[in-house]
Amino acid sequence: MKLGFLTACLPNVKLDDLVVWAKSVGFEMLEVACWPVKNARDYSSTTLDVTNLTKDEAERIKKLFKDNNMEISSLAYYDNNLHPDLVIRKSYHDHLKEVIDAAELLGVKYVGTFVGRNYNKTIKENFDEFEIVFKEILEYAKSKNVSIIIENCPMPGWNPDGGWMGTISYSPELWEEMFSRLPYDNFGLNLDPSHLYWLGIDPVSVIKDFKDKIFHVHAKDTQVFKDKLNKFSIFGSQIQRENAWDMGYWAYRMPGRGEIDWVAFLKELKSNGYDYVVSIEHEDPEYEGSEEKVKEGLKLGFEYLKGVLDKI
């Protein structure tokens, strides 16, 4: 397995500089953020402007990575592909197709996104809608020799009712439904154990059943504050939230700074045939606020995960 990170955490650093810095630390892959240039989503950035990507620039980028003995693990554009506003939804789909086009130009196999949710409809109605929407997306990706990977974050801030379900793809039950409705070979998971942990799901337990659908892996840790959980329940604070994303009883951490058993998780991945990237998704609030602090966090995560991988 190779170590990488999602570049969205360093929105002001150019791709060329990211490649050089990442190599100096020891990373071998980058998960390149490809949100639109004009975009207000949290934890997003435009490391690569896919809308204006030319064949010549794609060739330059491929050479940049090759010369530095680095690879692009995937292109990342995570938005609500079932957004209830059809105009907004179309804009997301149009950009996602541009990301898929960029992946083809760059020779990148994976494009990461969310399923999302139409919060005006039931879960059954959402899956009916998902089947139509993602059939088109998957067919388009297939024509470009690209696979779509879904990260399993519940995206609580997308739910206007203050719950924690802003997508319909956050649990094994929902993955089964998702893959049974659209059993495409180019459709899989970007498995992130951090979300499973605060939802009460053992991240290790899901690997065997979904081993053929785990195409890419995120590395993010979670710390649960038991006293807050006892006060708020798994649904999180309903009154004291600082913002729509603030559940109140857990926080994301760099790998090794939370409660996930990374030895067991990575060992189970390895024993079930996974041998691709372990990509740090940096959302640890204790290592944010400046480029230097973010890089410090990434270095900590790298050293910890490297130590685990060397043991298994």
pLDDT one-digit tens code per residue, 159-189: 766 566 889 999 999 999 999 999 999 999 9
d(CA 260, CA 11): 27
Q: How far apart are the first and last CA of the chain?
A: 11
Which letter does DSSP use for residue 206 in this model? G
Alpha-carbon distances of 34 from 75, 78, 95, 99, 230, rounded to whole Å = 6, 9, 9, 7, 39
Please give the Cα distance from 169 to 159 (Å, whole number): 14
Looking at the predicted structure, is the pLDDT value of residue 235 above 90? no
Query: Mean of the pLDDT values across residues 289-293?
Result: 96
Rounded Cα distance between 151 and 112, Å, is 7
Q: For the chain, how are helix, strand and coil distributed in percent, rounded to 5?
A: 45, 15, 40
For residues 33 and 4, give the distance between their C-alpha atoms in angstroms, rounded to a whole number.
13
**pLDDT bracket for residue 126 (50, 70, 90):** very high
Dihedral in degrees, nearest 10, Cα atoms 140, 3, 220, 311: 130
277: confidence class by pLDDT, cuts 50, 70, 90: very high
Instruction: Classify residue 179 as exposed, middle or buried by CB count within 10 Å of its CB (0-12, 13-18, 19+).
Output: middle
According to the model, what pLDDT value does residue 245 have?
78
- Whether pTM > 0.85 for this model: the answer is yes
- Is 38 a residue whose pLDDT tops 90? no
Query: What's the rounded Cα separation, in Å, for the pair 183 and 185?
Result: 7
Average pLDDT over residues 38-66: 92
User: Strand pairing of 221-224 and 250-253?
Assistant: antiparallel
What is residue 160's predicted lDDT score, i.e. its pLDDT? 66
Give me the residue label for tokens 């995570």. 78
Q: Is the pLDDT of residue 40 over 90?
A: no
Domains in the chain: ranges and CATH: 2-311 (3.20.20.150)
Q: Which two tokens stand for residue 167?
A: 């997508």
